Structure 1
């Protein structure tokens, strides 16, 4: 009873082990510094790439040139009449089962049977890939800058490594162009009582009508630094009356117009080289079976020897996988593993102690069964 209890505790412990913005812009008068500040204000209104809406990303990666070890290979070997298999190069900590060769492989009307295989170290290098990625940026306008480069992350399977690459721009295309009535900016007029306004090196006379800058729309667009083929000023208007600051009379005006807005499709392309990887590759040897038989006849001794060797090889591989899993468990959970192995050690000690105690209690005493006849009587003389 005691022995069963400790044996159950031992087994339980063993199980535990493996368990688009559009802002307003200020326009000023006379001073070149003020004109420069207007241009800076317009550039500040340009949306960053992160602020744009990115939709419909269509990335693609294709192999430029096939590299040995990148894909599995079944085909003729180096010698005439031989047939081989090479797996793709895979990580050293990967499960090898998915890369093992087939027992029988059919190709070109012939059936090939696996003779043997081996696992060898192999590097994978020189892999060139063509990458293409297309972005759709919404609500672009004339002052927006087009990003000349684009960063992408490429996952290298099955090695699970990720590398960042910078792709150059290939081509752009405008789609969904339209004019929007949302273009407007403020104008501040100094010395408003003079009736003059300086734009660059030109001095214009302000109209006394409701549209003070009528006929000078192109100069206003040049003043704020926007292309006239993407922006239009329909009219301008005074805002309020003149007011005085530091002895100078000012008056505010507003320009109203339209701007050309569109969605922008940008394609980025480049040929990249993936980093070199170190791993394993399986090489297998096949032999051609006769067309009238699915299994090649062999002698009994050769078959039994081959089966025994395969069994030992499989046993060794399973033992190595088991040890690798234990090592991974210890690496991921060192503290839990230490506690579990301590409990396992305690359970073994208790089991051995209980076994010794049970053996002592159950062992029968050795009683002499020899007949005791008592002391010998002396002979009569």
Structure 2
């Protein structure tokens, strides 16, 4: 059985709280923040952002970092911290703790995945697998960067059975064009998404390309795909920026359920609703592998080869940037509203 689950998607808030940026968080089940929580990774910026995320009325909040969250990239900050904070350096471990411990409802993903079960009595009682990563490429020196030559290995860590993928960088040619040039997204990420074919991919980073696209992937091994750019209400509109993928107001995604075993006894140990599945950032990974506790891995939920996943046809790609302009913000800073995505997901129990 499948039910509608509502995701509120934001990114690139850059230390602005909703009241300051002039947007309201919609009612929903899950909040996704796709990175750039801060402007320069200061502790006061992190606390401010995590306070409003922790207080937001969503059962689960999925959070990743972005290139501006410099103090959350410990190795980077040890080398370049003085470039950003020349008076007093932050403690990266304490900064990470601020994000990770702000609320039990927050799932902080550092190039890793989690299996999430929604359990509120009045909620949809659905289950999904999400992968989140802070990596992106930017001009200049910024956190969580990577070399293009390393990109295929980096994005091979996305599990093939992921339902939702959250990355700070957009994939190449999808919601990734700057106002002053062409696409700047990652080609290797696009290729990985074409293999995984999650139902939803949320990103940010390129402020000017806020919006969404529905991508119908071509046959395996082909680079061509059918792309439909979605229409959202214009800036300043009081209408909600809603992407309905449930089949009620828009065509349903042509994807079968990714979770093939809906039994709560096999998906989770008792009383556990969030299961972190992979090692944290910086630890060794095996491409397309997932570390399941032996007692909780369902037999019908494998990381199987791509050619057996041909029944997945579409991905909705969302760039959820809240800050609508890039530095130096010519004409002043402007802000977007959250993008709301309604997605049908399998339930883990019958009501």
Please report the TM-score for the alignment, with normalisation by the length of structure 2.
Answer: 0.17
| The structure with more radius of gyration | 1
Please report the TM-score for the alignment, with normalisation by the length of structure 1.
Answer: 0.16
Structure with a larger share of its residues in helix: 1
Q: Which has the higher contact order (CA 8 A, sep 6+)?
A: 1
